[in-house]
Structure 1
């Protein structure tokens, strides 16, 4: 889908908090989620006409789903810069949590409680960091065996809302944020192990390194095994 070129908007800003937002555990209803995924795929502001062309169906159906997405915080709405006469068209952008919901594996929310219990258990072990890395690598191996081996896609499916930045990949949400704040060595160690196993390049997970996210920064050399 071609992005809209004549627009005037303010990209949603996350209040600086020294880390990512918590991942939302609720999800849009299926019809709205279909529109949200198309909105994320647009990779820029999209109008109702653009979305309807991509999705098919009647514009009123798409408009209704967009209204739900905006009302529930999954997307934002703004007016395009007017061109000529007439009322300026409305355009839409996904919010950070909207991108999370569109990219995330729909079964992930069922796994969060288990992962939190694992993190709490590992925090009491004699070597929390080493145990966490081992668990993360085991997780990564299973994802890779299932066909998930592209780092950004894996991070998106696991609820991190990855975004390319100058230094690497920003993680704008975290599905285990509360646990990561309580046991950062363990939770972030699990995430490091996951990253190590998915890619043969070396990426370093830097927790809470950005005003509104964590950072996965590429370094030289192969990943540590």
Structure 2
């Protein structure tokens, strides 16, 4: 029981660590949260999470690995993802111009779920994760976490061993992502209600992040750097 709990907690930490870094998904979540409120931000996060569930199911069936057998698919994914990010960046710029202050409810229908879901499905980095680390999570075995930490391996060896391929690790992993998509929009909404200028600033920053990643993906696709 203790081992299962430790493995589940490790999965939660791993899920949060995967979801938290700045990137196009969090840029869209931020934009939706400060312009339309927590519900819109949560649905945007849910779109990315559902895409991960789809990849998980495909990895479990062995279908995701097929992509790795066709190198020509990768530049197509980079171009598709880059174009989508640039397109969404234009929308974020328009949001930044129209959002004079934080508004719970926003202006118009939220498309955050569809944006993050489609973007995640064409995101080479997300696909790459499920081709490598994701497959490792599904395979039965164990991982001594601290044994891979420089200088701590001999001292803390065996202190944190997680069971890969276990339901506890997978539940914890997706639980960590769920925790992030609940807490992140809530923190942004709380800040937005205190500072009127927060919404346009965040929307503008979201546009910069999306445009930056979009141009990067287009460049990588054009140069063939994988």
Task: Classify the TM-score, shorter chain.
Answer: under 0.3
| Larger RCO (CA under 8 A, 6+ residues apart) | 2
Point out the structure with the larger helix share: 2
**Structure with the larger strand share:** 1
TM-score, normalised by the number of residues in structure 1: 0.25
TM (norm. structure 2) is 0.25
